[in-house]
Amino acid sequence: MKTVLGPDQRSFLAELRSYLDGLDPELVESTRAENIADPMQPREHGRRFLRQLAADGWLGVSWPTEYGGQGRTEIEHWLFAEELYSRRLPNGLLTLNVIGPTLMLTGTEEQKADYLPRIINGELVFAIGYSEPDAGSDLASLRTRAVRDGDEYVVNGQKLWTTGGHVATHYWLAARTGKQEDRHRGVSLFIVPMDAPGITVTPIVTQGGERTTSVYLDDVRIPASQRIGEENEGWAAIVCALNFERMFFHNEPRWELEQLADWAREQGLLEGESADAYALQERMGEHAVDVEICRLFALRGASMLADGKVPVAEASANKIWWGELRQRICNTGLDLIGEEGAIAHGSPYAPAHGHLEHGLQSSPVWRFGGGTNEIQLDMIANQGLGMPR
Amino acid sequence: MTAFTLSEEETQVQATARAFLRDFVDNTYLNEQEESPTGFEASRWGRMRDLGWSSVHLPARVGGADGTLVDAALITRECGRAAYASPLLQTLRSATVLDAIAADKTYDDVLAGIVGGAIATLVAPPDRTVMAESVADGFALSGPPVVVEWLAQAEWVVLVLPTVERGWLGAVVTADSFGERAVDVPSIDNERMVRLDLDGMVLPSEAVRTTDLSAEDAAYALARADLLRASAMVGGAQDVVERSATYALERHQFGQPLGKFQAVRHHLARMVIAADGAQLLCDDALNRALPGAQETAVARAALFAAGRSYMDVVLTAAQVHGGVGTTVEHVLHHHFRRAKAMQLRSGRRSSRLRELHQGLVVRREAVEGSLW
């Protein structure tokens, strides 16, 4: 069979590991703690960490050298993401992995020259503005309106679930420029600085402690030069970005399984011979198989990207597998622990370092974020099997 | 969905095998063979021998094609896809194990026989229920009866068993060595089986050609052989998914194809995920299963995932097809029965999962052997 991971890839990984091992331990530990508490948005330490990686030339592994990247393949990029996820450190999230690559495919030369260098330097953090109070899965019904006024658009509306809205520098904003009944054919995509006049961000705190935001747009003026793609043709870029997004779910289930293994080791169950030990070993054995499958769904997507193809149904399968597995590990892991599992994270007595309980509370978004799993299943039926819509 | 791992030559092996089987295998043929006295056609076996199927991965020294385990696995995948029953899988598994545990030319006569078209079968109970103990004139066996596919049709029987003293043994006997210990039993699928009572039997010294085989080496040899079964189950699962998708487009109810109903679409998409996951893991394990690589854990993971996925997809496929899928007029009934039988031939689920826990979580074999 074709060798996907050859000596070059392995030496790349060794080099990356040696680089990460050599970073300032204070930076790494504070970044990790911040990232575990709320991984969806790099804050004080995460920003510091990403700027350090950028300064050392480690952001944009698969970005072309003309945009300041290392010019390696998507396989190395996948290895990079897996390794950072394995250490629970941020890897540039949506800004580097979704917005950047989408801009490369759909942006104008001016837009690329303006944004890509600042993304790869770790300067910019994007938040994504798709969902609205009445436009969730049915994104094509969005109502935030952008009206052309000379060289500018004037935007009014409300966005919901803008994760990272309070730490972002820029907003990747979908707005209606055509008629409501034109649905996805009347949507345009814009970039606007988060501190533009007329933008108000209000926090939403979720059960797991992660923050997201509502964003209100009140006569926000965006230069027409900041529109991505043609007017009313923003949907293609949104679809492209979502496919990239669904490929960036990686190694966290392995990390969560290791938290459970730590607990089982302390309890003498990891290699015990009791009925409880056997029950745990059976459960963990199946999770461990599913973790390996998770690795391979992500690797398949990376291989397709490396071959110049965009995974669609494959990206959906990756996202479904990853989210359901993580949730299953957290949920059934707590079942194995029993009543002590009810001790909340933050307490030194919380079993498995509190990560399973925290993970379970965070887990609903894994199944609906980036497009609900039900919509992903429909995409597999359409794109993967050719079912009629 | 997109397969990304096969080389051009491997794609060719796969296409050739598929075309060969397509030429004569359909549900009617499978039903006829299942009801026939022998369970398979000797003339087809001869043709498969001529194509080199049972020796594709054996060394040129014994007349094999010097191919890899991947080549053999692609052939079993196509047999699985066609739901085609024959002694091929058992013969390939036997050959794989003998090739792996042979010191020098220990088993060259048997391997050369397989190249020449001999049928072999393998006795290696997955739950390690049969033990061997050294006695004056050989090894005495003890344990509950086991079931063995195609023993009645085989020329050679390969045994790989743990010993009471230390290590594992490898032995070869002729199939007529068992007398009344071997009793034909009906299988739930279209393969043939005997129930073999080894308790109290003594394997003569001259039959035991390998002793002191380490448990690790025995486990890896068997795990590689089992990858051929995993691959057959992957092929079966793929065929079931494709047939179900085709049926969902053809069958109309309430004035529209089944494939327009979201409940059915989601069933189909879940089947794709199950089959893809099994295939990806099987291919990864095959890629890593080089001789001596000791990639036992990931090979076992692939076997487990293949059995689980094959069963998952046949259960859902039966639901998508409704009544028609349960009739003996539809090939799905072969897949349904084969999925459970093949999964069960890997032994007890709880034992397999604890083994996987030991390999993947405790010993971190897949991690040490690869990346994380």
Q: What is the pLDDT of residues B80-108, one digit of tens each?
A: 999 999 999 999 999 999 999 998 899 99
Q: With bands split at pLDDT 50, 70 and 90, how would you rate the model's confidence at B368?
A: very low
Stretch B30-59: mean pLDDT: 96
- SS3 state of residue A149: strand
Q: How far does B16 lie from chain A, in Å, by closest CA?
A: 17
Among the residue ranges A235-244, B21-30, B313-322, the one predicted with the least confidence is: A235-244
Which residues 277-306 of B have a C-beta within 8 angstroms of A? Answer: 277, 280-281, 283-284, 286-287, 298, 301, 304-305
Q: Is residue B336 part of a domain?
A: yes
Give the CATH number of the domain where residue B359 resides.
1.20.140.10
Nearest neighbour of A314 by CB, restricted to B2, B70, B357? B2
Give me the domain span that covers residue B285. 216-366
Check residue B327 and report its DSSP letter.
S
How much is the pLDDT for A4?
A: 76
Altogether, the residues listed in chain B come to a count of: 372
Q: Is A136 left (phi over 0), alpha (psi -120 to 50) or beta?
A: alpha
* pLDDT computed for residue B77 by the predictor: 98
- pLDDT of B199-209, one tens digit each? 999 999 999 99
Query: How many domains does chain B fold into?
Result: 1
**Residues of chain A where predicted confidence (pLDDT) is lower than 50:** none
**Structural domain includes residue B260:** yes
> Is B322 contained in some domain?
yes
Contact A186, A176 (CB under 8 A): yes
Pairing status of strand B252-253 against strand A145-149: unpaired
Q: Do B351 and B127 form a contact (C-beta atoms < 8 A)?
A: yes
Find residues 347-376 of chain A whose CB sits inside 8 Å of chain B: 374, 376
Angle (CA) B237-B241-B242 rounded to 5° is 120
- Is residue B14 scored above 60 in pLDDT? yes
CB contact under 8 A, A304 and B354: no
Min Cα distance B361 → chain A (Å) is 7
Q: What average pLDDT is seen over chain B?
A: 95
Residues 10-69 in A contacting B (C-alpha not used; CB under 8 Å): 13
Asked if A293 and B272 come within 8 Å (Cβ–Cβ), the reply is: no
Contact A380 B355 (CB under 8 A): no
Residues 199-258 of A with CB under 8 A from B: 251, 254, 257
- Residues from chain B that touch A388, judged by Cβ atoms under 8 A, are 249, 256-257, 259-260
CA–CA distance, B62 with B52 (Å, rounded to integer): 12
What local confidence, expressed as pLDDT, does residue A248 receive? 73
In this complex, do B266 and A5 lie within 8 Å of one another by their Cβ atoms?
A: no
Q: Which of A245, A252, A314, A357 is catalytic?
A: A245
Question: Angle at the Cα of B224 (from B219 to B228), degrees rounded to 5?
Answer: 135
| Structure tokens that stand for A43 in this block | 């804050």
Q: How confident is the model at residue B372 (pLDDT cuts 50, 70, 90)?
A: low
Question: DSSP labels for A345-379?
Answer: TTSTT-GGGGHHHHHHHHTHHHHHTTS-HHHHHHH
Can you give the pLDDT at residue B156? 98
pLDDT at residue B367 tops 70: no
Domain assignment present for residue B341? The answer is yes
Q: Write the DSSP symbol of residue A344.
A: P
What angle, rounded to 10 degrees, do the helices at B349-356 and B296-321 form?
A: 140
Report if residue B334 sits inside a domain: yes
pTM of the model: 0.95
DSSP line for A1-33: ---SS-HHHHHHHHHHHHHHHTS-HHHHHHHHH
Instruction: Give, in degrees to the nearest 5, the angle at Cα A128 between A114 and A361.
Output: 140
pLDDT tens per residue across span A168-215: 999 999 999 999 999 999 999 999 999 999 999 999 999 988 899 999
* Whole-number pLDDT of residue A178: 96
What's the Rg (C-alpha) of chain A? Answer: 21
Q: Is residue B244 part of a domain?
A: yes
Q: How close is the nearest chain B Cα to the Cα of A127, in Å? A: 30
C-alpha A324/C-alpha B300 separation (Å) is: 23
Chain A residue numbers with beta carbons less than 8 Å from the beta carbon of B4 are: 2, 4, 300, 303-304, 307
- Give backbone dihedrals phi and psi of A227, rounded to 5 degrees, phi first: -85, 135
B251-284 pLDDT, tens digit each: 999 999 999 999 999 999 999 999 999 999 999 9
Question: ipTM of the assembly?
Answer: 0.96
Nearest Cβ partner for A378 among B262, B305, B371 = B262
B56 belongs to a structural domain: no
Is A245 annotated as catalytic? yes
B252 CA to chain A: closest CA distance, Å? 12
B103 domain-assigned: no
DSSP structure class, residue A300: H
What would the mean pLDDT of B105-129 be, rounded to a whole number? 97
Strands A126-129 and A145-149: unpaired
Question: Is residue B160 within 8 Å of residue B122, measured between CB atoms?
Answer: yes
Nearest to A344 by CA among A323, A324, A366, A359: A359
Cα–Cα nearest to B154, from B221, B92, B216 = B92
Q: Which of A13, A261, A380 sits opposite B371 (nearest CB)?
A: A13
- Across the interface, whether the CB atoms of B7 and A278 are under 8 A apart is answered no
